[in-house]
Each structure stands twice: as C-alpha cells, then as structure tokens.
Amino acid sequence: MNVIKTDIEGVVIIEPKVFGDERGYFFESFSQPLFDKLVRPVKFVQDNESKSRYGVLRGLHFQKGQHAQSKLVRVVKGRVLDVAVDIRKGSPTFGKYVAVELTEDNHRQLFIPRGFAHGFSVLSDEAISLYMCDNLYAPESEGSIIWDDPDIGIDWGLAAEDVVLSAKDMCHPTLKDAPELFDYNVDYYAE
C-alpha cells in the first residue's frame, strides 16, 4: 500500500495496490502489520457500513474522552467527499481540515486519528461507505461540530440547496462554541 501524507500530521490517504485483469480486480484492503508499520499501531474493534443518496451530508462527528475513535474510511459504491477536521486545542492545525474524494474506482482510504471530527458528503446518486473504528461507539460520548461552520469553511462539493441533513446534524455548535474538544498535548492513544 502507498501512504500519502496530508497537510495535517497523522491524517493520511492510503492507496492499495490493485491487481486487475479481464476478470475484475483484487486488492488487500487492510493488513494489520503494514498499517502498524506505515501509519500507526491501531487495533480496530468495530466495522460500520453507511448507505446514503446524493446530497446526504453526515457530520461533523467525533467521540470524546476515553471513547475517542480513529477511523479508516473507504467507499465500495459511489463517490463521497470525506473530511477530517483537527479539533485538538493547541494544535498548529486546529480548525483546519483535509478533504479527500473516496470512490469505488480509486479505492483510496482515509485514516482519521483520534482528536478529529469526521464527516462526508455524497457526490454520486448513491454511496456505500465502510469504516473501521478503534474504539466502540458510546452514545454518551458523542460530540459534533456544525457542518457549515464559517470559521472552518469546508467546500462539501454540493450546492446548498442539495444538502440533505438529519435533524440532529442541523443543530450542532460551531467549533468555537463546542463544549468539549481535544487537547493537542494529550496522547489519546495512551492506555
């Protein structure tokens, strides 16, 4: 696999080596030893799947405290714009984001470390995303930032009138008003 660094330390794009012929293709989507060596040691414990239609925007979500999560995201059908926002207070990239187009054709994956909010917008008629998490979901530890925070300024690749949100995603706080974030000087991987 090829690991591509982004402008934010720890957030990386992973391109698997795809072997294709007239029958189709094959690639290894995850290898624990390679991931540990090339990205960081992480033990994934939960695997999620999400199906959405064009215009759906999910985010920006995160898990707080001892339930903080890293995510490894990929798309098996369609096309999404996947986004990771640095929400670690004191970080030199606090409030900055990485946006990567993940598609069924490019097979790219985005690794989002603990201390980041995550969201995505669906750019195709339909999309199916898979993501592995290194901590179990805990509803009491949910955190969120509003998707259209002007201080972050994410271009989701959709016209405003095409954005489809859940009722919950319509009323999150802005980054500056979020009650609990992460501290850049804390190691959220320490046990």
Find out whether 88 and 187 touch, Cβ atoms under 8 Å.
Answer: no
**109/132 Cα distance (integer angstroms):** 11
Per DSSP, 164 falls in state B
Residue 121 tokens read as 């917008």
What type of residue is 86? D
Mind telling me the catalytic residues?
61, 131
* H helix intervals, the chain: 32-38
